[in-house]
Amino acid sequence: MSYDALFSPIKLRGLELKNRILMPGMNTKMVKDRHGVADDVIAYHVARAKGGCGLNMVEIVSVCPQAHANIYFGMYTDEDVQGMKRLTDAVHEAGGKVGVQIWHGGFVPADFFDETNKLETPETLSVEDIHRIVKEFGMSAKRAVEAGFDTLEYHAAHTYLPHEFLNPYLNTRTDEYGGSFENRVRFPLECIREMRKNMPEDMPLFMRLDAIDELMPKNLTEDEIVDFINLAADAGVDIVDLSRGNARSNATVYEVPPYNLEPGFNMEIIGRVKQRIKIPVAGVGRFTFASLADEMIKEGKCDMVAVGRAQLADPEWCNKSREGREDEIRRCIGCTQGCYDKVVDPNAHHITCNRNPQLCLEYLGLKPAEKAKNVMVIGGGVGGLMTAEYLKKRGHNPTVYEASNELGGNFILAGKAPKKQEFEAAARWEGEEAKRLGVEIKMNTTVTPEMIEAEKPDHVVIAIGAEQKMPAIKGIDGADVVSAEDILAGKVQAHGETIVIGGGGTGIEVAQFIIQHGMTDSVRIMDKVRVCNGVGMLRNMFLKLEYTEDQIVRSNKCTVQEIGDHEITYTLINKAKKKVEKTRHFDTLVIAMGTVSRPTEALVAKCEELGIPYDVIGDAKEPRMAIDATAEAFEVGTRI
């Protein structure tokens, strides 16, 4: 398909964009010591510009040192201008257009503050402080223009400082900057006017705003959002980039929407707002397919579409969509393991992607192999397949050996859980991609040490994954005691009073699966530490949004001691922090207590005996998250 609407040009003041696709600003954590713009972030943007994106929006830059925490870029020093000029020049050379988000974070960046920062919110700022920040927005705009940006975006969403002033719950001031709607919009509008003063007349100004204010004790009404947009248009905003979500409630899930939300989930609200405002709209809402983006523009719900994480997963998303190569697109699955969890992980140096472990490492490139090697990849799960793909692209000769009759490994089973069909689709795509690249694949083949000796490969990669662990609990083999794996695979069904032992990702998903398939109305999850322990924050939030406490009952600090005839004996730590023993009836007991690596000792021993270099990756090395397996696939696939 051609997607004529999506790939038609659009003109905003003096800026003409070749298509309607905006890559929104997304935190990458690639800044070096707050001000450093290095080769990695430049290569990241150049890859998407070359990939056909109409407009790259560089992530938030702080207008002042007070709000400038260590994971953000800045735009208030000469160093900031010089660094960003390198970036804009590179994007322009690649044929792209580029903007930047001008930002003050209010309370949001405080989690990343150090002793150099100061919390600035509506309740802490004096009127003099407000006037200073307004000027700082203008000076940041001036510097961004000097840095060569084609457009600027005023960030007024996601409970950053302008949104905090707009929202009646977060703004409790009683002076001219608080109280009435007219007073609450004063600061945001002053910032816009000051930015506009410092921009060329023919340069457009974007504004990012939430299409809906929600889940806080007091929210902006839709009428107020519409009225503010129209006032902002009068002040100099040319197009509004409508997002969703805030950092003061479970609405955080809408800012970086996981797989729980359908593609385009935000567009009905955006379309409704668009009908009442006088400037164009860029719509945001987890777009993974060009067909949906094109449809939204044709239906008049938006004028541009923000395609973010789909372009993280595949920087060629735009070109492949436009050229009819959609079968080649590596699609985002909404797992948020790399694009969100790594942002809030203090140990992560930058974001990454389950589907694209090369994200933020584009500057390294894929170096051709010095000498083509025959590599035996044992295991046709996602980790093994991706390893083989990187090897093949570099000029090696990998062969994948899969013991079963199906490629994809545990990703296939993961795709059986509610709303995770994209995981199964990704696993099947990975198999087709390996074949498209010409990787040799041998199905129904269990590799033995003798096979390694007979084949004599130049290198061996062991990616045989893990299998469900059944704990050594007395009575584990009793009646109506089943594994989570068998439930998800459809081999058995739960009935009656159901208890899931293990509150990690699998335990949560099997509980959701049981309820969704009508096996029972309520499931109790018991965990020796805490239900959702080790599960990403967004998935935990969605559990609270989608299921009541009566549907999924959480029992923390519970350790099963013995399984009897439809009864478990367990200990728990009560509110007095004392250990007590209890019993509980069950009709179905589901074991979801994690996995254990499949044995690799014999394969490793044979490699060592023969002097064959080898790597063990993914769950075969140690059961962890899928993102660890794909990261190791990239590392090994580019190192051999």
What are the structure tokens assigned to 171, written together?
């703004």
Cα(624)–Cα(597) distance, rounded to whole angstroms? 10
Segments of 384-423 assigned E as strands: 397-401
Q: Report the interhelical angle of 78-93 vs 127-146 (nearest 10°).
A: 40
| Cβ atoms 589, 499 nearer than 8 A | yes
Element (DSSP H or E) covering residue 219: none
The single residue of 44, 72, 154, 160 carrying the catalytic annotation is 160
Judged by DSSP in three states, 339 sits in coil
Cα(537)–Cα(542) distance, rounded to whole angstroms? 9
Cα(511)–Cα(548) distance, rounded to whole angstroms? 13
How far is Cα of residue 300 from the mean position of the Cα atoms in its chain? 28
First-last CA distance in the chain: 39
| Cβ atoms 588, 494 nearer than 8 A | yes
What are the structure tokens assigned to 614, written together?
């080898």
What are the structure tokens assigned to 166, written together?
């707009």
CB contact burial 172-193 (16+ within 10 A = b; e otherwise): ebeeebbeebebbbbbbbbbbb
Active site residue 154: no
Cα(344)–Cα(347) distance, rounded to whole angstroms? 9
Judged by DSSP in three states, 449 sits in helix
> What is the torsion angle, in degrees rounded to the nearest 10, for the CA atoms of residue 244, residue 108, residue 238 and residue 229?
60
| Cβ atoms 235, 193 nearer than 8 A | yes
Rounded alpha-carbon distances, angstroms, from residue 563 to 422, 449, 519, 523, 570 = 36, 39, 22, 18, 9
Judged by DSSP in three states, 146 sits in helix
Q: Which residue has the tokens 């040009």?
A: 9
Judged by DSSP in three states, 108 sits in helix
The phi, psi pair for 390, rounded to 5°, reads -65, -40
Judged by DSSP in three states, 269 sits in helix
| Cβ atoms 271, 303 nearer than 8 A | no
Classify residue 577 as exposed, middle or buried by CB count within 10 Å of its CB (0-12, 13-18, 19+). Answer: exposed
Judged by DSSP in three states, 241 sits in strand
Give the catalytic positions in this structure.
160
